[in-house]
Amino acid sequence: MPQTKNRYMPGLDGLRAIAVLAVIAYHFGWPVASGGLLGVGVFFVLSGYLITDLLLEERRRTGRINLRRFWVRRSLRLLPALLLMLFAVTVYLALTAPGRLPDIRGELLSALTYTSNWYLIYRQVSYFESFGPLSPIGHLWSLAVEEQFYLLWPLFLWGIIRFIPFPTRGKLAAVTLVVAAASLIAMAFMYVPGTDPSRVYYGTDTRAFGLLIGAAFAIFIPSRKLAESLGRVSVLLDVIGAIGLCISLCMIVSVDKYDDSLYRGGMLVLSVASGLVIVASASPFSKIGKFLSWKPLRWIGIRSYGIYLWHYPVQVLMSPKNPYEDSNFLYQLAQFIMTVLLSALSYRYFEQPIRNGKLFKYKKKEKKKMKSKSMKKVIRIITLPAILMIVMICAACEGAGNNQPVHSIEPTTEANADDTGTTSDVTSSPTPSGTPESTSSMAPETQESGGVTAIGDSVMVGVKAELEKLIPGIVVDGKVSRQLSDAAEVVNLLKSENKLGHAVVVELGTNGPFTAKKLNELLETIGDDKQIYLVNTSVPRDWQDTVNKTLAKAPDEHSNVKLIDWHALSIGKSEWFTKDGVHLQPEGAKAYVKLIADTIG
């Protein structure tokens, strides 16, 4: 059977380089890449285009799509580097921090099965919020989304081609865009403004549209049509490519990850813009393609998969504290150099030899005999390390569990932060504050006509006892991982039980930002007849300033609102905080409560 032969398009490697550098800059916390997480979206569109282009070109040349060969070739491309990275991370943790292995055992196993994104969704692990040690393999969710696409999309194409009469490119493109629209609509409807968007960010169902838009571009404009000079059309390619590149770069530089518009059309804009760049870059005659073919960019792009794999483990494991808090440029430069070095070595001495078959050479005289068995040999080469990896992970985790106490086999929530600051980035689903999960002190004498009510998150939970000592009769309703968008439900419940005091203290913002609209809605729910005190936040995360600016504007717009400036009081008082920089030591709790009591008067 004739083999498919695909043309090398160097400009696409340049685009890969830009995407992976954007992601790294975002993880380093550089302001110049506030939207660097969109680099993953660029990868999705690029993968959708290339895979669809490859499959349809194979069908055009051979009359069929060889699914088995496609999946084996994908495995040879993706699995070796992944297994090597997971092996290195497991060994490193086993030697330096064996107690952490049980905590990431589920992530390791889900990484091997390419289900990381759904594991993180099931465990309610936030991509955006973190209170404690980060997982060094938390970035593998995006590879899981792509691998699931690689598994299902070829089957989808094969089914359409086989069972739909005369499946023209127009029909195929129409079906593809319908499925993409369904995914986009799912993201828009499932996203709740003012809350953590991790569910829609991780989900294969809500992110598939990026891959499918790339597929649609490949159906409409296959790369073979761009291989020859297009005359005046090349000018058009340059124009649309330049427009797409400018839009993509502007979004990477300026978009905020909590911007509502990002999840209600913004990622669609990025996907279409990326598609325009891909089409232009696929032509060897376009200026955009030549610009993106710059040798340093191509070098990075060729190794972008390995760079993406290694950058996050290096960043997390080489950082003495939370990577998002480490702004030392020289330290980050050292991490980047280490990442590039590891990925280059992996590419040169591990990935390429496996893809080229040099790790399982056989004698020429046995070539015919082995040819029929080559597929089985490849599968064995892929599966054996995976099996060994699983065994090693289980053994290492079991050993770690036996050698020292494990705080939690599964990640804990940020409310579990104690004096050691040990927490993780899991966020709990909100529940009504009257349930056992919330910390609430309902004093009988507190009625709507008087008294003080305090509503907050885990910081409020931590100071509950001090508040009750200093402000007798106060109602304290704090809940782990509570967002401001959850507070209206709490207020309505307290009102229905006639337990909302005349003075209401609101402490929210630890777990993420919120819009001024959401804050105003909460203030209206509390009511103009209440005196409201908003406590701003001191949290070493990138949403601190956004939260505090939003809160600072409220007193100017509402006569019954006052600001309690905890952030200003706590500056430079690191001894007041636990290691996560958010939750309070006893001395800090006393200062926090005294500030509230003095303000209320």
Catalytic (active-site) positions: 458, 580, 583
Q: 10 Å Cβ neighbour count for 170?
A: 10
Coil, strand, or helix at residue 562? strand
* H helix runs in 319-360, sequence order: 329-346, 352-355
Give the C-alpha separation, 508 to 532, whole Å.
13
Q: Please say whether the beta carbons of 176 and 215 come within 8 A.
A: yes
Q: Please say whether the beta carbons of 564 and 599 come within 8 A.
A: yes
Give the C-alpha separation, 94 to 551, whole Å.
45
Give the C-alpha separation, 11 to 55, whole Å.
20
Give the C-alpha separation, 216 to 169, whole Å.
9
Distance of CA 494 to the CA centre of its chain: 35
- The label of the residue with tokens 């999840």 reads 263
Coil, strand, or helix at residue 342? helix
* H helix runs in 203-356, sequence order: 204-220, 233-254, 266-281, 287-292, 295-302, 304-318, 329-346, 352-355
Task: With both helix axes pointing from N to C terminus, report the angle between 10-27 and 233-254 in degrees, rounded to the nearest 10.
Answer: 10
Angle at 529 between CA 526 and CA 535, to 5 degrees: 50
* H helix runs in 404-471, sequence order: 458-470
Nearest to 453 by CA among 477, 488, 482, 470: 477
* CA dihedral sign, ordered 334, 337, 343, 346: negative
Nearest to 54 by CA among 76, 71, 41: 71
Coil, strand, or helix at residue 244? helix
Q: Which residues, other chains included, contact 450 with Cβ-Cβ below 8 Å and sequence gap of 6+?
A: 501, 502
Q: Please say whether the beta carbons of 143 and 82 come within 8 A.
A: yes
Angle at 402 between CA 398 and CA 403, to 5 degrees: 115
Q: Please say whether the beta carbons of 541 and 126 come within 8 A.
A: no
* CA dihedral sign, ordered 431, 580, 425, 420: negative
Q: Any idea what DSSP says for residue 426?
A: B
Give the C-alpha separation, 55 to 57, whole Å.
5
